[in-house]
Amino acid sequence: MSLPVAQEAQIVNVTVNGDEHTATVEPRLLLADLLREVFGLRGTHLGCEHGVCGACTILLDGEPVRSCLVLAVQADGRELTTVEGLAGAEGLHPLQEAFREHHALQCGFCTPGFLLTALYLIDGDPAIDERDEQELREALSGNLCRCTGYQNIVDAVRDGAARLRTAKEEG
């Protein structure tokens, strides 16, 4: 019978930060490893590899996902945003500026995941900086940081939301 099942490598076409990429991969390859090992985009960090730490969080068609819990082949035809897509020619993204200014990172391992989670949260709730701190902390609770104690990250996300709003208002 014609088996609709294949163990052989498959072709994946994805758009990463606006650039089109193609690769031939085994079905078991994780999306995080496609980004890191095949495309050389090592800004996406792999911590726990079972969905707990949030370091590998990226945006898949605009929604945050754990790239260690998605197969590379599942991203075929989709658009990805990774930390490499945030800074522009004119410098850091406003949220990255806020992280730098508020000292929201020490070793930086968790930062890419925090940035992409926070971007999604701000996008869905532009006034998230006006929410009470508990709500903001719960919204960020899927990303673990072992250095900062979180306070500076919460401050940076609040400030980043305000900066993005100002940038939008100024057009």
Partner 1 sequence: MKPPRFAYAAPATLDEVLEALGVEPDATTVLAGGQSLMPMLNMRMAAPRVVVDLNRVGELAGIEAGGERVRIGAMVRQRTIETDPRIARRLPLLAEATTHIAHVPIRTRGTVGGSLSHADPSAELPAAISALDGRMHLRGADGDRVVAAREFFLGPLTTAIEPGELLVAVDVAAPPPGSGWAFLEVARTHGAFALAGVAAVLHVGSDGAIDHAALAMCGVGSAPYVATWLPETATGEHPDEALFEQVAERVRDEISPYDDGHATADYRRRVAVVLTQRALLTAAGRCNGGGPS
Q: Please tell me the distance from the alpha carbon of residue 165 to that of residue 123, in angstroms, as a whole number.
A: 10
Four-CA torsion 137, 140, 145, 150, nearest 10 degrees: -30
Rule CB under 8 A: say whether 7 interacts with partner 1.
yes
Convert residues 16-35 into a mask of x (bound to partner 1 by CB under 8 A) and - (unbound): ----------xxx-x--x--
- Taking CB under 8 A as the criterion, the residue among 42, 79, 106, 120 binding partner 1 is 120
Q: Which stretch binds partner 1 (CB under 8 A): 12-20, 62-70, 91-99, 152-160?
A: 62-70
- Taking CB under 8 A as the criterion, the residue among 22, 130, 138, 146 binding partner 1 is 138
Q: Please tell me the distance from the alpha carbon of residue 9 to that of residue 97, in angstroms, as a whole number.
A: 41
- Taking CB under 8 A as the criterion, the residue among 12, 16, 53, 70 binding partner 1 is 70
DSSP letter (8 states) at residue 36 = I
Q: Please tell me the distance from the alpha carbon of residue 134 to that of residue 167, in angstroms, as a whole number.
A: 26
Rule CB under 8 A: say whether 57 interacts with partner 1.
yes
Q: How far is CA 87 from CA 43, 60, 95, 116, 148, in A?
A: 12, 18, 10, 12, 23
Q: Which residues bind partner 1 (CB under 8 A)?
A: 1, 3-7, 10, 26-28, 30, 33, 49-51, 54, 57, 60, 63-66, 68-71, 73-74, 117, 120-121, 137-139, 141-142
